[in-house]
Structure 1
Amino acid sequence: MAFTKTVFIFLTIQSINKGFGERTKDQMYDNIDGSSGCYRRLNATHQIGCSSKRGGSTGVIHVCETLDDLNHILYNGTAPPYIPVMPARLFTMKIVQKLINSKKVSGLVLHLSNDTIKSLDHFSHEYQCPNPLSSIADTCSSKGSIWNPYGTGLLYADIPFPIFYLENEDEVMKIKKCFEKFNNFSYNTQVDRSLCSLELKAFMYATTNTQTCRRRSNIASNMNPMKFCDPLGDSNIWASLHPLVEGSKSNETKPIRDTSYIVVAARMDTTSMFDRTSGANSPVTGIVTLLTVAKYLKQILGVNETREGKRNILFMLFNGETYDYIGSQRMLYDMLRGDFPIRGVSEANDILPIIHPENISLYIELSQMGNTNNDLFVHYLVDNEEINEFYNKLQTNSRVVKFQNVSTSLPPASLHTFLKNISTFPGLIISDHKSSYTNHFYNSIFDNSTNIQYQYYNASDDDSQQIPNDSLQYFIANVSEIIGNSIFEEITKKKYDGNGTVDVTLVDELLHCYLEDPNCKVHQALRKGGKFSNGPLNLYVGVDHVINYATTVTALTLGWFTGDIVGDGNVNCTNHPRNYAFKFYNMSKSIQQLNTTKCYKITMNTTEAISPAFLIPDYDWSSGEFSSWTESTWAEMNVRMFLKPSAAHEKMTIAIGCISMIFSFVIVYFVKSRSLILFTPLSATESPTNC
C-alpha cells in the first residue's frame, strides 16, 4: 500500500512538472541569446525602422562573408526566403536596397567579425546633415559643412523585414555550424532537403505616422485597449552651481531674482538602428566634460563671488536631442511660458525665481570631445561682445589646447533650438570638429570606447601618474580646467590664481561609468543601492513612461558635484525641511572615501523632455514646429534557430495527417454504427419497484 502511494505521488509531481514545461512546438527551436533588434519609429510624415510579420519572419540561413556570397542567393537561390547572416561591414544602403528589391529575403542578421573591427573605417547610418528639419537653414550644405559625411541615412529608412545584430561570438558560431552542417553544400538541391533556418520575431504594432498611430491608440474600446505607440521622451537635467534662493534656513528662503545666468549645456542621448547604444564620443565625452567643469567650478568659485557679480551658473543636460531636439525644444517652450524651473506659479512666487531666455547672458554647449589632438573649435552664428570676450578668455587660459574660432558655422546641437526662436541668443558650441565630424561612427553601435581609444586605469590620487599625458582623460581634464577658469574670469572679472586643479582620476572613473561598468565608484558614491548589468549605459532617450537609469544616475552625479555638505550622513538627512529649491541626499564624501557618508544639500532637478507637440490640443502635425517622434510598441523581440523540413517532407507530413484524420473518421463511424453489437448493454438484475 505504501509503495502504491509513493508511486502515485511521484507520478503526480512529474505530471505537474511537465505541465509547466516547454510546449512541444517550442522544443524544435534553439534560442539565440544576446540579439539586438531594429524597431520602428514614426514622425508626423512617415515611419522608419524594421518590422517582422505578425507571427515572426522565417528564412533559410545563408552565411555571407563577401558580396559574392550574398549575390549567390539573390540570383541563384533555390530555397527562398533567405535570412543572410553577414558582417556589419557589408551593411550599406546599396545592399539593403538590393535585399528589399530581390523579394528573396525575409530578414537579416548582422554580426561583428575580427576583420570587421580592423577594417571598419566608418559606420554611421544617421543623415549626413543630422536633424535637417529642426536645424537652422543652410548650416549644413555641400557649399559649407557636411557634418556627417559618412552618414548613409539608413536609420531613417523604412525596411520591410526584421534586422538583428549579434555581438555574442558563441551564438554566431552556433549559427555558422548549423549552416555548415545542413546548408553549405549542393545548393541546387537545397529545396529537396531539410535546411537550417531562423525565426526573427519583431512585429511592430504602429504604422504609417505619428498622427495615425495616436488616433488609433486613443480609440476607446474595451475589446482592444492597446496602445500602438508612445512619444519619445525622458527628462532634462538641470542644476545650479549655487542656490537660486537666499536664506539661512531651508524652509525660510526667498528667490534671488536680480541674477543672470551662464548656461553650460550638453546633450544626454544617442541612438542607433538597434536596441543597443554606447555613444562614447557623442554624447559621453560632452557629458563627462560638463560634469568635470561643474565639479571644478564648485571647487574654485564661491557663493559670495557669484552674488557679487549677480551671476550664477546653470548646468543643463538635454534628452532626446537626436530626434529633432526634443529636450531643448521643451526647455525653451517651458521658459517662454514661465514654467522653468517650476511650473504653475507666478513670477512673484516665493519658491524659486522664474528663468526666461533673456536671463541667460551666455550659453556654452559642450559637444563631441573625443578627438585628442589638442585642437578644439568654437562655433557660433551670433557675433556679439559676450561671445568674443569668452573666446578670448579660452585662448588666454589655454596652455595645451588650441581653440580656433569658426564663426558663421553651427554643427547640429541644442543651440539651434534657441537661435531659431531668438536670433540674438548669445550661444556658442565647443567641439572637436571644424567642418565635419571626426567621429566616423556617429549615432551607431560602434561609437564605443574603442572609437575614442579609451583605456581604464583605475588610478587613485596617489598613482594618477600612470594615466598618460596624451590620454583622453588628460585632454578632458585640461579642457574642463580651461573652461572653468574662463567662466571664473567671466563672473569675477579677474583671472583664477588659486591652486585648484581637475582630478584626472575622476575623469577616468566617469568615462568608465558610462562606457564599461555602471557599477563604478562614482555610482557607488551616490548611495542609491541596486546593481546595474555590465556594459555601457543605455543612452537612448526611450519613451516617456519608462525610467531611464542613465538619466537618474547622471542627475544625482551632477547634484553631488554641485551640492553642499551640511553634516554627516544619517537617516534623517533626507527629512530636512525642504522646498523646491533644495534636495537632501546621503552620499559618499569622494570616490576615495566611499565609506564616509555626508549629507548633501543640492539644487538639482529634472524637467519633462517630451515634445510640446504632445501637449498642445489639436496640434497641427503638418506644421513641423516641434518634434513629433514616437516609438512603436511590440510584444516580443527574439531570434530562434530551427531545422526547416524539405518541401517533400512537409507534403508527406500533411498527407499522413490527412490520411490519419480520414481513417479516424471511418473508425469512429464504424464503431458508432455498430455500438450495439460491439458494446452489449448490461441487463438489470432486478425489476424496478413501482413499475
Structure 2
Amino acid sequence: MPVSIMMKLKNGSGRVAGVAVIMPNTNPLEGFSPHTSCPNENTGVYSETYDPSLAHCNVTVWNPFGNGLSYEEFDFPIFSMKDDNDTRVIRQCYMDHNRGVNGSVPQYPLCAMQLYSHMSAVTDTATCMRRNDLNLSLSPEMICDPLGDYNVWASTKPLNTTAKGHKTGESVVVAAARLDSRSFFFDVAPGAESGVSGFISLLAAASALKTVIQEAPPSRTIFYTFFQGETFDYIGSSRMVYDMENKQFAVDLDNVHSVLEIGQVGLRADSKLWLHSDPVSRKNDSVNDQVKKLITNLRSAAVNLSVSVDEPNVSQPLPPSSFQRFLRARPIPGLVLEDHESSFTNRFYESMYDTADHLNMSYPANLTQEEQLEFVTEAAKALTEVATLVARALYIQAGGAEAQLRNINADPEIVTRMLYGFLVRTNNTWFQQLVPSDLMSHLADRPTNFYVGVAQQSSEPTLLVQYLLANMTGSQFNISQGNCKNQREDEKDEESKHMYSYTWVQGAAPPNSTERQGFCVRSTVRLSKALSPAFDLKEYTSKDYSTWTESRWKVIKGRIFLVASPDLEMMTLGVGVGVLIASLLLTYIMSSKADILFSSGREPANATY
C-alpha cells in the first residue's frame, strides 16, 4: 500500500469512490509504518514547559519509517481484502471484463465494485460529543463513542480496593507494559513487536516471581500494570495517573517508589537491551540516585544471562512510553526497557505487517496445531531471557535478596504458548483451560486484534491478559463454583472480595474424558477504567488528555456487478421514457373518454316483466 498512491488517490480528480486493498501474504522488504514519525508527541511529558529542546522528537526521530497515513483524512471508504476467495472473484471479474486486448479499449459490459461504509460522526470529537449530549429524543442515536477499555493490574501483596487513595507504609514498584496496538485498518492490529513482545515478557516475569515471592517476599510490593489505549495518546496510563492523583485508585502517586516499563523488546541486536531514562527528572539528585540504583539492579539481574543491558546517551529523551504520563504528574524514578538505542528497530511500527513473522517466529513443517503450541521457537527463547531479566530486576528493586536471583527463571514453554496464542491462534487448548466458559466464544483460529475499540466492554486482549495474569500469579482455591462467581470464600464472607478476585476457569479435561474439571483461581488481578479523563471532565478539546473517538457506522459491505455501455444505458433510458409518455397519453385519453368507453346501456324506467 504505497503512500504515494494513496495520496494521489486522495488529492486526485475526486472521482475515486472507494479503494480495496489486498493484504499481501509477505511483509515488504522496505519499512512501512502508517503512524507518525513522532508517536504521541503532543501528550507525552516533553513540551514547552518541560524541556522544549526535547519535545517533538527534536533530538531523536523515534519512528523514521512513519508516514502518517493513519492520520490522513480520506473522503472515500478504504477496505482491506483478506479472503482469498473474494480477491480471486474480483481479479477474475476485472480480467474478464476490464482488461483490453492488445492495448485496445475494453468492451462493455465492465466490472464495477460498490463499497458501503456509512459513518455517522462528522468534523471532530468536540462536535460529535456535543451532538451526543444534545440528543433529546426518547431513543437517542449516538453518533460517536470514546475510545477506551480497561487496564489490567495485580499486586504481589493484596491491596484493599475499596479504600481508595494513599496506603500508609505502602511502597510499590510499578512494572508496566502496554496492551494495545493499531494499524491503518481497525480490524488488523497484530502488534507483535510494538506491544506483544513487551507484555508477554512482563506476564512471564510475573509467573517467574510467583514462587520466590511466596517463599521470600520482598519489602516492597510489585505492581504489575498492563495499559490499554496507549497508542491513542496514552489513554490507559493517563487515566490511572489521574485516578491516583484524585484518590480514586487503590494507591496514589506517593506510594509509587519507581517504575520499570517493558517496551519493544523482541528485535534486539547483539543480545543487548537499552535502558532509557528521563534526563530532565534526573537533574534532581534523589531521583538520579534511584535511577542509578535501578540500572545497577538490572545489570546485576543480567549476570549469567545471554542478554546484556546498556544506557544510551543520557541527553536523549524517553521514547514514547506510558512512563511519560507518570512524569507529567511528578518526578518519579524509572526506566524504559527497549531493544533500540535511538530510533525504533521495528520497521513496521503500528502496521499490519508487525506480525509473528516479523518476530521471526517459525515452526518446522508438518507440525500439528497442538505441536506448534508446545514448540519452543527462537523468538520464545529470546523473550524468556528478557522475562528472566525483568523478573530478577523487579525482585531486587522491590527489596528482595540477591541470593534468591538464581531461583528466578522464566519458563520458555509459557512464553512460547503465549506467543502462539496471541500471534497465531487464540483458540488453542492452553488458553481454553485458563479462561471461563463464557470467553470461549471470543477465541478464534486467528491472531488477536489489539485495536483498543470503544469504551463499552472489555476487549479480547484485556480479558485474555486478565485471566492469564490471574493463573500465573494466583492460586487454585478449593471453593464451590457459586461462591467463586459471587466473589466470596463461603456464604458469610463479605471481606475477601475487597482484597482478592475470584475467577472460575474451565480447566482441562482428564484423559479419556470430554468433561472439563473447572476450578477457582484466587488472585489480586483487577480491572480499572481505561477511559480518557477528558470525557469525564467534558473537555473534548483537551490538550492534556486523549480525545479520540470512533464514529458509529451502519453495515459495512461491498458488491461487484457488471455495468452496461453508456449507449445501451441511453437507449434503455430512451425506451423507458417513450413507454412512460405513451402510457401517460393512453391513460389521459382513456380517462377523458371514460363515459363513452365504459358506459353501460340503461333500461327504460317503465319496463315491466
Q: 2:358 aligns with which of 451, 463, 466?
A: 451
| Superimposed CA distance per residue, residues 118-139 of structure 1 (whole angstroms, 9 cap, x where no aligned partner) | 6432121100010111123354
Cα distance in 2 between the residues matched to 1:202 and 1:465: 41
Aligned position for 2:98: 183
Deviation at 1:432, TM superposition (A): 0.9
Alignment of structure 1 residues 6-25 onto 2, 5 Å: none
Deviation at 1:388, TM superposition (A): 1.5
Would you say 1:549 and 2:453 are equivalent positions? Answer: no
Cα distance in 2 between the residues matched to 1:463 and 1:267: 26
Alignment of structure 1 residues 142-291 onto 2, 5 Å: 144-185=59-100, 189=105, 193-222=108-137, 225-244=140-159, 257-276=168-187, 277-291=189-203
Deviation at 1:570, TM superposition (A): 4.3
Deviation at 1:181, TM superposition (A): 1.3
| Residues 685 and 224 of structure 1, relative CA distance in 2, 3 Å threshold | farther
Would you say 1:609 and 2:530 are equivalent positions? Answer: yes
CA contact (8 A) 1:270 1:443 kept: yes
Deviation at 1:624, TM superposition (A): 0.5
| Residues 635 and 623 of structure 1, relative CA distance in 2, 3 Å threshold | closer
Deviation at 1:173, TM superposition (A): 2.0
Question: Counterpart amino acid of 2:301?
Answer: N
Would you say 1:418 and 2:333 are equivalent positions? Answer: no
CA contact (8 A) 2:209 2:408 kept: no
Cα distance in 1 between the residues matched to 2:546 and 2:434: 34
Cα distance in 2 between the residues matched to 1:379 and 1:591: 46
Deviation at 1:339, TM superposition (A): 0.2
| Superimposed CA distance per residue, residues 21-52 of structure 1 (whole angstroms, 9 cap, x where no aligned partner) | xxxxxxxxxxxxxxxxxxxxxxxxxxxxxxxx
Aligned position for 2:39: 130
| Superimposed CA distance per residue, residues 57-107 of structure 1 (whole angstroms, 9 cap, x where no aligned partner) | xxxxxxxxxxxxxxxxxxxxxxxxxxxxxxx3xx21x32222223214222
| Superimposed CA distance per residue, residues 114-169 of structure 1 (whole angstroms, 9 cap, x where no aligned partner) | 6xx26432121100010111123354666532111010011111112221111223
Aligned position for 1:363: 259
Cα distance in 2 between the residues matched to 1:239 and 1:604: 4
Q: 2:502 aligns with which of 584, 588, 598?
A: 584
Alignment of structure 1 residues 369-380 onto 2, 5 Å: 369-373=265-269, 374-380=271-277
Would you say 1:628 and 2:547 are equivalent positions? Answer: yes
CA contact (8 A) 1:203 1:635 kept: yes
CA contact (8 A) 2:41 2:56 kept: no
Cα distance in 2 between the residues matched to 1:475 and 1:130: 27
Aligned position for 1:66: none
Deviation at 1:687, TM superposition (A): 10
Cα distance in 2 between the residues matched to 1:519 and 1:120: 31
Any idea what SS the aligned residue of 2:211 has? helix
Question: Counterpart amino acid of 2:260?
Answer: I
Q: 1:120 aligns with which of 26, 29, 42?
A: 29
Any idea what SS the aligned residue of 2:499 has? coil
Cα distance in 2 between the residues matched to 1:543 and 1:497: 42
| Residues 565 and 242 of structure 1, relative CA distance in 2, 3 Å threshold | farther
CA contact (8 A) 1:236 1:609 kept: yes
| Residues 223 and 237 of structure 1, relative CA distance in 2, 3 Å threshold | closer
| Residues 596 and 295 of structure 1, relative CA distance in 2, 3 Å threshold | farther
CA contact (8 A) 1:242 1:303 kept: no
| Residues 495 and 521 of structure 1, relative CA distance in 2, 3 Å threshold | farther
Cα distance in 2 between the residues matched to 1:573 and 1:671: 82
Question: Counterpart amino acid of 2:9?
Answer: L
Deviation at 1:385, TM superposition (A): 2.2
| Superimposed CA distance per residue, residues 156-194 of structure 1 (whole angstroms, 9 cap, x where no aligned partner) | 11112221111223222211111111111167745x733
| Residues 551 and 179 of structure 1, relative CA distance in 2, 3 Å threshold | same
| Residues 524 and 623 of structure 1, relative CA distance in 2, 3 Å threshold | closer
Would you say 1:539 and 2:450 are equivalent positions? Answer: yes
Any idea what SS the aligned residue of 2:40 has? coil
Deviation at 1:413, TM superposition (A): 0.7
Any idea what SS the aligned residue of 1:102 has? coil
Cα distance in 2 between the residues matched to 1:161 and 1:387: 50
Cα distance in 2 between the residues matched to 1:585 and 1:503: 23
Question: Counterpart amino acid of 2:12?
Answer: S
| Residues 682 and 320 of structure 1, relative CA distance in 2, 3 Å threshold | farther
Deviation at 1:271, TM superposition (A): 1.0
Would you say 1:404 and 2:303 are equivalent positions? Answer: no
Deviation at 1:666, TM superposition (A): 2.2
Cα distance in 2 between the residues matched to 1:334 and 1:328: 10
Q: 1:475 aligns with which of 349, 365, 382?
A: 382
Aligned position for 1:42: none
| Residues 305 and 203 of structure 1, relative CA distance in 2, 3 Å threshold | same
Question: Counterpart amino acid of 2:336?
Answer: I
CA contact (8 A) 2:97 2:109 kept: yes
Deviates more, 1:584-593 or 1:131-140: 584-593
Aligned position for 2:347: 440
> Alignment length, in residue pairs?
568
CA contact (8 A) 1:460 1:592 kept: no
CA contact (8 A) 1:380 1:428 kept: yes
Deviates more, 1:135-144 or 1:599-608: 135-144
- Alignment gaps of 5+ in structure 2: 47-52, 283-287
| Residues 686 and 495 of structure 1, relative CA distance in 2, 3 Å threshold | farther
Aligned position for 1:102: 12
Cα distance in 1 between the residues matched to 2:373 and 2:98: 55
| Residues 202 and 630 of structure 1, relative CA distance in 2, 3 Å threshold | same
| Residues 560 and 459 of structure 1, relative CA distance in 2, 3 Å threshold | farther
Aligned position for 2:49: none
Any idea what SS the aligned residue of 2:422 has? helix
CA contact (8 A) 1:300 1:498 kept: no
Aligned position for 1:316: 225
Any idea what SS the aligned residue of 1:196 has? strand
Cα distance in 2 between the residues matched to 1:269 and 1:603: 22
| Residues 388 and 460 of structure 1, relative CA distance in 2, 3 Å threshold | farther
Cα distance in 2 between the residues matched to 1:425 and 1:209: 35
Deviation at 1:275, TM superposition (A): 2.5
Would you say 1:651 and 2:561 are equivalent positions? Answer: no
Alignment of structure 1 residues 36-55 onto 2, 5 Å: none
Measured on the aligned residues, the alpha-carbon RMSD in Å equals: 3.2
Any idea what SS the aligned residue of 2:520 has? strand
Q: TM-score, normalised by structure 2?
A: 0.86
Deviates more, 1:99-108 or 1:360-369: 99-108
Q: 1:673 aligns with which of 588, 592, 597?
A: 592
| Residues 681 and 516 of structure 1, relative CA distance in 2, 3 Å threshold | farther
Q: TM-score, normalised by structure 1?
A: 0.76
Deviation at 1:489, TM superposition (A): 2.4
Would you say 1:295 and 2:207 are equivalent positions? Answer: yes
Cα distance in 2 between the residues matched to 1:285 and 1:139: 27
| Residues 636 and 459 of structure 1, relative CA distance in 2, 3 Å threshold | closer
Report which of the two has the higher share of strand: 1
Question: Counterpart amino acid of 1:337?
Answer: N
Any idea what SS the aligned residue of 2:175 has? strand
Q: 2:478 aligns with which of 562, 567, 573?
A: 567
Cα distance in 2 between the residues matched to 1:208 and 1:226: 17
Deviation at 1:287, TM superposition (A): 1.4
Identical pairs, percent: 29
| Residues 231 and 143 of structure 1, relative CA distance in 2, 3 Å threshold | closer
| Residues 650 and 175 of structure 1, relative CA distance in 2, 3 Å threshold | same
Cα distance in 2 between the residues matched to 1:497 and 1:203: 57
| Residues 497 and 448 of structure 1, relative CA distance in 2, 3 Å threshold | closer
Deviates more, 1:257-266 or 1:166-175: 166-175
